[in-house]
């Protein structure tokens, strides 16, 4: 945990989010309590057009509900709606 109480989180982006963010992976410090709060924070910063309801979130390699709380060192992946096949 950093001096001001922010958590260090690694975030990974795919597809449209990666393009809108301009990179696929980053480490950042945040005060966001939940995955949802972190997404909204980043959405505001980077202008992501996908609303949270259409996305899913993976924390430390498993799918989690959006209200999952975040801890120092968590690895978060925002998963846009998929279209395989």
Where do contacts with other proteins occur on this chain (CB under 8 A)?
12, 14-16, 18, 43-44, 47, 49-51, 58, 61, 77, 79-85
CB of 74 to other proteins, least distance (A): 16
Q: Which is nearer to other proteins, 6 or 56 (CB)?
A: 56
- Reduce the DSSP state of residue 21 to 3 states and report it: helix
Supply 7's token pair.
């958590």
Q: Which is nearer to other proteins, 2 or 53 (CB)?
A: 53
- Reduce the DSSP state of residue 57 to 3 states and report it: strand
**How many Cα atoms sit within 13 Å of 14 on the Cβ side?**
12
CB of 9 to other proteins, least distance (A): 17
């Amino acid at each position: 945990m950093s001096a001001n109480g922010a958590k260090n989180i690694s975030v990974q982006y795919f597809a449209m989010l990666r393009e809108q963010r301009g990179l696929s992976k980053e480490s950042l410090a945040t005060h966001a309590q939940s995955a949802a709060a972190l997404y909204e924070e980043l959405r505001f910063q980077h202008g992501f057009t996908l609303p949270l309801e259409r996305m899913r979130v993976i924390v430390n390699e498993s799918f989690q509900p959006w209200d999952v709380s975040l801890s120092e060192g968590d690895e978060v992946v925002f998963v846009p709606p998929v279209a395989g096949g």
